[in-house]
Structure 1
Amino acid sequence: MNIRKLRFITLAIAITGCVNANAQSRADKFALIPYPKSLTPGTGSFQITDKTTIVASGAFANEAKMVNVLLSPSLGSQLAVTTKAAKGAIVIKRDERLTNPEAYTLTISPQQVVITAKEGAGVFHAVETIRQLLPVDVERAMHYNSLSLPAVTISDAPAYQWRGMHLDVARHFFSVSYLKKFIDILALYKMNKLHLHLTDDQGWRIEIKKYPKLTEEGAWRTFNNQDSVCMQRAVENPDMEIDPSHIVKHNGKTLYGGFYTQQQMKDVVAYAAARHIDIIPEIDMPGHMMAAINSYPFLTCNGENTWGKLFTKPICPCNETTFEFAQNVFKEIMAIFPSKYIHIGGDEVDRTDWGKSEACKQLMEREGIKDLPGLQSYFINRMEKFFNANGRQLIGWDEVLEGGVTPTAMIMYWRVWVPDAPVKAAKNGNHVVMAPGNPLYFDSKYDKNSAKNIYFFNPIPKGLTAEEAKLIEGAQAEIWTEYVPSEKRADYQYMPRMTALSELLWTNDQSKYDSYKHRIINQFARLDALDVNYRLPDLDDMIDTKVFVNADTLKVKSPLPGMVVRYTNNGTMPTASSPVLNNYIIYRSQVVKLAAFTASGRRGDIYTINYKQQPYAAPVKAEDAKPGIVVNYYPGDFKGTTYLPAAASEQKFVAPGIVVLEEVKAPSFGLRFKGYIDVPQQGIYTFYLTCDDAGVLKINGQTTVDNDGMHSPVEKSGQAALDKGLHPFELNFVEGGGGYTLKLQYSLNGSAPKDIPASWFKN
């Protein structure tokens, strides 16, 4: 090769390496989440000492205070706040030209820090950006003589105005201190709405002075079936232990519960408001009211307070005493929560008893109400008038659309199996918050795709014009707590995947996903300092069932620096004293359990790999095999794939692959895909089955992937050693109602997963 050309190539490689190194250094220095709209690194740094002043007008007094809340624990004293210009200061300025109330610019130079914004929310978001640029130890109030900020210019504003999290404190209760911690984490990642689900069948959590029994009695319960599940899971996972601070002895009974006094909640509301987070209270009605009805049975149509086929019996919309109660409750709620929005719930209402009530029959005739959904709308619309008269706006779950709703109500969409609900709402003129169960129910089980599914979620549903799309306010994620019994478990369920939601709603740039995956790793040390029990990163290439012909070597890369992977092969759970995994050779069938451990001994998720030794399965002959796969369709309710009938169904179709055909219309159903899979070469094939609810894949009559059970979308995987040719194939799938997910992919000898070609399926 020409020497000059060689030198050029060498120089190009060196330059490329420098560019990559600089890009990596920049990513580490500015590992911000959510990432700003515009970021330009500068030269040098600004040093903050206890002599630094804050220059701000009275209009930004709260934000100047928040700067001191951030800095003074590490500097040892409050920074002086002045309205006069000063050298080497942190300067907060108003900029009327900014149109977005949450927009800001942040300019850090060696001479000063300048924050400009139109409103306090924008200033506060700039302060939280500064927080992420500071050393992690400021979260621990570690003492510094000076704090260094890298020079940078940032111009920033959110893509969506509703960036929310929901926390259900009714099923399991959470302390005031945890609510404040939760608010701090929301603020750190520029979320601005906290939706508190304060009441449900299992507990009433807010003091209502006019109806004291709501908390004297309704805030407490004996352990229920959900508590029992938590107790069982706590045997292997201490995070699932029910918080003993919420357990009391009363009249010889062990009771679980708790509630917030009005003064406690006013304090929480003020804490959130200082951080520009709006707390939206939800008092769920007319359904989910068992905790109230137990103490005030006059609320029902017939005095009964029982479970129906699916849900509890609701309060009665046909008695004036019901409206008197509801309005009295909401008057006290409005005195606690200044939020423009009040959430009334309105979901999962068993209306059966309304149809039997003489009072309801008379009301429906008098008001011209045609059906029971219309009767629910009568209740919702009447309550909305009360809210509006008090300067508030009603929010309801998307069921409130069913009987008709005014265009002024806000709709919160959650039912993924009713995909046109947000479209209908927007076309009706309603503002909409997207909160679909998939992917935004954070009480659902994590898998390796959780963060990516959130990051690539599009809050704008198909079928809207550009003008209608403006009615989509944003999105929020839910933490329902039937099986979230502790504060540690709540942390685990929402972090770190909330950061993906934060970046989606603020930055809204899918091209930054690879950068996000690196930046989130940089955030873990800060979360450690904030005592957040976040879920540790996934171990790569974990396959539930692995096969090998002769031998295999199990090697797993540690997901983070300082973490080690430990294993057991005797059925016990890995502990901090289990052997460290280091190219473990598999030469016989066995079960291996793995977990990553931090230096402090904290354990990540446990992975169970079922190793099976098997030869390459010989193909079968099927001379008359035709393209496609036979689908047996079983309408009805099934609790798992084992409940599907063994016999062929009356309704059969031929599908091109693993898809749910349009002919499948039942809300709950089972499918059996049966035929052959024609693999093009010998190898170890890995199959990845994602389903909601249950699914089991069998190849050559052997269970390859077991994803059975009623659950949200989760990926499971398994392998089969196959020779080239046709192999018997069967996939059983059950949808229990509430929207389905079904996806099957494959990889060969460790290649990247991809969809199975339709040409492989035969029948």
Structure 2
Amino acid sequence: MKLTALPLLLAPFMASALTQPQLDKMAAGLEVQYQVLAQSGAKACAKDLGDGHCFKARLTLTLPFDQPDTHWQLYLGLVNPVQSFTSDSLAIRHLNGDLHQITPKVPFEKGHPLHIDWYASFWQLSYGDSLPNFYLAAPGLKPALLAATRSVPGAVLPHQEMPFIKGELPHKRTLDDDTPVADANWYYGRYPEPVPASEIALLPNAAKVVAKGGRVKTHGFALDAKLAALTGLPASPDGLAVATRIEPDLGSEAYQLNIDNSGVTLAAGDEAGRFYGLETLSQLFDGASLPVVHIEDAPRYGFRGLHLDLARNFLGKAFVLQLIEEMAALKLNKLHLHLADDEGWRLAIPDLPELTAVASKRCHDLSERHCLLPMLGAGPVSTSRDGYLSVADYQDILKAAKARHIEVIPSLDMPGHSRAAIKAMEARFQATGDSQYRLVEPADSTRYQSVQYYNDNTLNPCLASTYAFTGKVFSALKAIHQQAGVPLKRYHIGADETAGAWADSPACRQLIKAGKVANTGQLLPYFLEKVTAQLDNLGIEAAAWSDGLEKVAREHLPAHVQANVWTPLYWGGEKVAHQMANAGFDVVYSFPELTYFDFPAAPDPQEPGYYWGTRYLDAAKLYAFMPDKLAANASQFKDRQQHPYQADHWPLEKPQNIKGIQAQLWSETVRSPAQAWYRLLPRLAIMADKAWHKAPWEALEGDARQQGEAAGYAQLSATISRHWLARWDKKALPYRIGPVGAEKRGNTYRLRATLPGLTIQVKPKGQDNWQSWQPGMALSAPFAARALTNTGRAGRAIWVNPQ
């Protein structure tokens, strides 16, 4: 059945004979199995959906008892919307975003499964494309979460979190997809050859290190207690003397550190440089002594950032504060906080309480007067994945970041990705009748669908109330920052992925008729010009994603506007970045295939994350990135189908406008802090090194560059193992432990862990106990292998099969 032909399902509006105990019993006992059957050919797919691509999936529901009543609905999240379905017993329709509704055609009979097959857009190549927390609802009853689909507490990998997903998944998007299979041999080739860490092992690497031999013993440092606490150094009045001074001529964030038997001297270009010098000192201190050394250091880029999405799934204040500590230790200095999107508004705004009273929660309320629809597998009742930062919470984050020389850049996405704000302000209007901040134009009959399949998520740039709302939010943000003693320097508008809205808006037709804009294609530039002017009038610089800013004439915007360039290099990212820099934008590299940490770390269906930009972003790929030679990256990277691509070779006329790099952690599939740390570490450490330090091998060509890159990656991995794993273990940060790699050499196997500081264990087939692996150990495939930390935390086991 084609969904376009599906009549309105009346079950939600019919009186139900079900009782609450019956519905709860169904939810507790319903067996659920979801399976991808095949990546389908073009004939089965709707030509106008999913770029002509689709896959076939099956959902099977089984009850261990009879249930004759059919007045129930099952709600579930599907990342890829259903195009058509086939079933004699069930029907499905797409509601909005990822939310779908299933209704029964027949009653449940004990042990008799009900099946529904459907075709969905694009592909499913990862278990992480599924969403947990299906639930049942019936009129007049409280919704009930299906126990079989409940997120498994503490699970990091999607197949562990959602065991109702059954069977194998397709590996290729299309027949010509050349993505490799992530088996043990593939992993072996991606991991560095283990080497000893140098005595002076720093991350980020320093520009100049002169080791003079010997060590200075000390139990602590005669240092300001506050600075010592911020950098992890033990303060002691009778400890080693630390003399610091500011020398502006050294430059912003730069420092010079000298350690010898007489003590520590630290010269810095500014307070940030002093802080980074002490962070370096903290890395060098082993708890009892320091190396005798002279270091001169300064950052490669002034902008070294991380984008954190708190909107899709709220990770909480404590997580943000811990993240700020780790960012500071890695000398990162910008935290782009994504605080509002379609699925949630996560910051309290005084005088607009509905933004958090309604839009910080997801639950089963189809009217959305009390909460948003439960997108992204949120379930029927608001949980810890929802919530918001109070003004006090946010100000605590601002103060913690300022103390560590990190600028917080807030973002409340607009005009697209604004569904949370739209629904909250509509709830406000319906409750009070006050239309001052209403974001809905009732007469607008435009039909559109966003990239995430919403039909109602875009602010209308032709309504005066839109700018009343943005002005109110901007002014409130500025006041919140001022009250915290942390002035708001920069605000990120968003401006990305704006769907084809406004075509049938009477207000927009009137605006066009009045000659203020030429056509609907000019409405996004019109919006951006107005909101950047609002920010400029408040003394706040604007930032936005490049796809929105590309549509605006540079001369119509304020003097300083930051552009996060997120076009993949293989789709013309170099051209976009250089064009925007040449036009006068402050460019921050945010290329998805190299900076999106929500992408999988391997082309492995068990690795979490979306993969629209690349099937994998592992440590080796990240380390190989050459940000100062964008065209040269085409010689070592491929497109998302693993095909070679041609570099743009677009001229860069204003290199001074390339400001830095920003990593991104989008949270659509990040449902807990543990899942966030799994994605962030150790990749964030490698990105920090890339943003602070230009490795010498980047200036080389050919074999010399490849050899230098391999040596540099091996040494950086050794540094992470020597210093950072112990730090993260102590803080109980569950960094990723990748599967063990294996390569057969003659009659033996050589094994490698993702990092050299991890222990490797093996278990031959048929045995129950793990045993430590040593080089040269006799092994016969098949056998399982896994890596362990010093604290005994194990990574995912992988089977090594005969070659």
TM normalised by structure 1 equals 0.64
* 1:141 counterpart residue number: none
Instruction: Give 1:517's match in structure 2, choosing from 713, 717, 721.
Output: 717
Tell me how far apart the structure 1 counterparts of residues 778 and 448 of structure 2 sit (CA, whole Å).
Answer: 54
CA deviation digits over 1:570-622, x for unaligned, max 9? 7xxx99x5466654323xxx7x55322335331213434555xxxxxxxxxxx
| Distance in structure 2 (CA, Å) of the matches to 1:171 and 1:524 | 29
Partner of 2:203: 33
In the alignment, structure 1 residue 300 sits paired with structure 2 residue 440: yes
Code of the aligned partner of 1:274? A
In the alignment, structure 1 residue 284 sits paired with structure 2 residue 413:
yes
* CA deviation after TM superposition for structure 1 residue 519, in Å: 1.6
In the TM superposition, residue 439 of structure 1 has moved relative to its aligned partner by 1.1
Of 324, 329, 345, 2:494 maps to 345
Q: Per the alignment, do residues 389 and 308 of structure 1 end up closer, same or farther by CA in structure 2, a change over 3 Å counting?
A: same
Aligned residue type for 1:37: A
Structure 1 counterpart of 2:265: 114
Give 3-state SS (helix, strand or coil) of 2:581's partner.
helix
In structure 2, what residue type is equivalent to 1:458?
Answer: M
Q: Which residue of 2 aligns with 1:457?
A: 625
Residues 176 and 301 from structure 1, CA distance in 2 versus in 1: closer, same or farther, beyond 3 angstroms? same
8 A Cα contact 1:302 1:357, kept in partner: no
Residue 436 of structure 1 aligns with which residue? 591
* Larger-gyration structure (1/2): 1
Q: Displacement, 1:89?
A: 1.9
Kindly report which structure 2 residues correspond to 1:459-478, keeping only aligned pairs within 5 A, or say none: 459-460=627-628, 461-462=630-631, 463=649, 465=651, 467-478=653-664
Q: Is residue 363–residue 380 contact of structure 2 (8 Å, CA) maintained in 1?
A: no
Which secondary structure state, in structure 1, belongs to the residue aligned with residue 497 of structure 2? coil
Provide, for residues 631-657 of structure 1, a one-character-per-residue CA deviation record: whole Å limited to 9, x for no partner.
xxxxxxxxxxxxxxxxxxxxxxxxxxx
**1:595 equivalenced with 2:786 (yes/no):** yes
Partners of 1:405 and 1:335 in 2: CA distance: 30
> CA–CA distance in 1 between the matches of 2:315 and 2:684?
19
Q: CA shift at 1:309, angstroms? A: 5.3
- CA shift, 1:161, in A, is 0.6
Structure-1 residue corresponding to 2:403:
274
What SS does the corresponding residue of 1:219 show, helix, strand or coil? coil
Native 8 Å contact 2:461 2:527 kept in 1: yes
- State how far apart, in whole Å, the 2-side matches of 1:585 and 1:226 are: 47
Distance 1:367 1:90, change over 3 A: farther
* 1:455 shift after superposition: 2.0
Q: Is the 8 A contact 2:593 2:617 kept in 1?
A: no
Tell me how far 1:41 sits from its aligned partner.
1.2
Q: Which amino acid aligns with 2:681?
A: M
Whole-angstrom CA distance in 1 between matches of 2:531 and 2:318: 33
Residue 566 of structure 1: aligned partner: 762
What percent identity do the matched residue pairs reach?
29
Per-residue CA deviation, residues 157-203 of structure 1 (Å, 9 max, x unaligned), is 00111111111011111121211110111111111111111011111
Q: Cα RMSD between the aligned structures?
A: 3.2
1:257 counterpart letter in structure 2: D
Q: How does the TM-score come out when normalised to structure 2? A: 0.61
1:467 shift after superposition: 4.5
* Shift in CA distance, 151/422, structure 1 to aligned 2, threshold 3 Å: same
Does 2:532 align with 1:384? yes
AA paired with 2:261? P
The aligned counterpart of 2:671 is 485
Given that 2:597 and 2:679 are in contact with CA atoms closer than 8 Å, whether structure 1 keeps it comes out as: yes
Which residue does the alignment assign to 1:584?
A: 779
Q: Deviation per CA, 1:381-425: give whole Å up to 9, x if none.
A: 111111111111110101223421435321111121342222221
Separation in structure 2 between the aligned mates of residue 328 and residue 464 of structure 1, nearest angstrom: 41
Q: CA deviation at 1:350?
A: 1.3
**1:30 CA displacement:** 1.1
SS in 1 for 2:262: coil
Alignment map for 1:488-567 (pairs within 5 Å): 488-509=674-695, 510=697, 511=708, 512-522=712-722, 523-536=724-737, 539-541=740-742, 556-557=751-752, 560=756, 563-567=759-763
- Contact 1:221–1:256 (8 Å) recurs in 2: no
Kept in 2: contact 1:492–1:535 (CA 8 A) = yes
**1-side partners of 2:572 and 2:260: how far apart?**
52
The number of equivalent residue pairs is 525
| Paired residue type of 2:467 | F
Amino acid at match of 1:503: D
Structure 1 contact 293–300 (Cα < 8 Å) conserved? yes
The match for 1:394 is 542
Instruction: Label 1:569 to 1:376 Cα distance change in 2 as closer, same or farther (>3 A).
Output: farther
Please state whether the residue corresponding to 2:249 is helix, strand or coil. Answer: coil
> What do the CA deviations read for 1:677-705 (whole angstroms, capped 9, x no partner)?
xxxxxxxxxxxxxxxxxxxxxxxxxxxxx
Q: C-alpha distance in 1, partners of 2:763/2:535?
A: 57
For 1:227 and 1:111, the matched residues in 2 are separated by 59
- 8 Å contact kept, 1:566–1:578: yes
More strand by share: 1
Q: Secondary structure of 2:795's partner? A: coil
Amino acid in the other structure paired with 1:111: S
Q: CA deviation at 1:47?
A: 4.2
2:563 matched to 1:411? yes
Matched residues in 2 for 1:531 and 1:256: separation? 20
State the 1:306 CA deviation. 9.2
Structure 1 equivalent of residue 72 of structure 2: none
Q: Helix, strand or coil: the match of 2:335? A: strand
Q: Secondary structure at the match of 2:524?
A: helix
Q: Which string of whole-angstrom CA distances, capped at 9 and with x for unpartnered residues, describes residues 222-273 of structure 1?
A: 3878754xxxxxxxxxxxxx9xxxx996xxx768411000111111111111
Corresponding residue number in structure 2 for 1:181? 322
Does the 8 Å CA contact 1:104/1:117 hold for their aligned counterparts?
Answer: yes
Cα distance change of structure 1 residues 381 and 569 upon mapping to structure 2, 3 Å threshold: farther
- Segments of structure 1 that go 5 or more residues without pairing to the other structure are 1-23, 55-62, 81-86, 139-146, 229-241, 612-718, 720-763
The amino acid that maps onto 1:426 is: A
Kept in 2: contact 1:222–1:255 (CA 8 A): no
Q: Note the alpha carbon deviations across 1:339-379, whole angstroms, 9 max, x for none.
A: 42100001111133x11112102213334423434211111
Q: Secondary structure at the match of 2:598?
A: coil
* 1:159 aligned onto 2:300: yes
Indicate if the aligned counterparts of 2:346 and 2:389 stay in contact, CA closer than 8 A. yes
What is the Cα deviation at residue 497 of structure 1?
A: 1.2
Q: Structure 1's 599 and 499: CA in aligned 2 closer, same or farther, altered over 3 A?
A: closer
Provide closer, same or farther for how the CA distance between residues 36 and 367 of structure 1 changes in structure 2, counting only shifts above 3 A: farther
CA contact (8 A) 2:395 2:480 kept: yes
Task: Note if 1:319 corresponds to 2:438.
Answer: no
Q: 1:285 to 1:378 in 2, by over 3 A?
A: same
Partner of 2:116: none
Contact 2:363-2:374 at 8 Å conserved across structures: no
- Cα separation, 2, equivalents of 1:197 and 1:526: 27
Find the aligned partners of 1:225 and 1:502 in 2 and give their Cα distance: 35
**CA distance in structure 2 between the partners assigned to 1:401 and 1:70 by the alignment:** 38
Equivalent-residue separation in structure 2 for 1:346 and 1:561 (angstroms): 43
Residue 470 of structure 1: SS of its match in structure 2?
Answer: helix
Equivalent residue in structure 2 for 1:66, among 227, 232, 242: 227
Query: 2:419, 2:410 → 1: CA distance?
Result: 18
1:476 deviates by 0.7
CA contact (8 A) 1:555 1:584 kept: no
Residue deviations 1:434-456 (CA, integer Å, cap 9, x gap): 10111110011003872222223
Contact 1:95 1:117 in 2 (8 A): yes
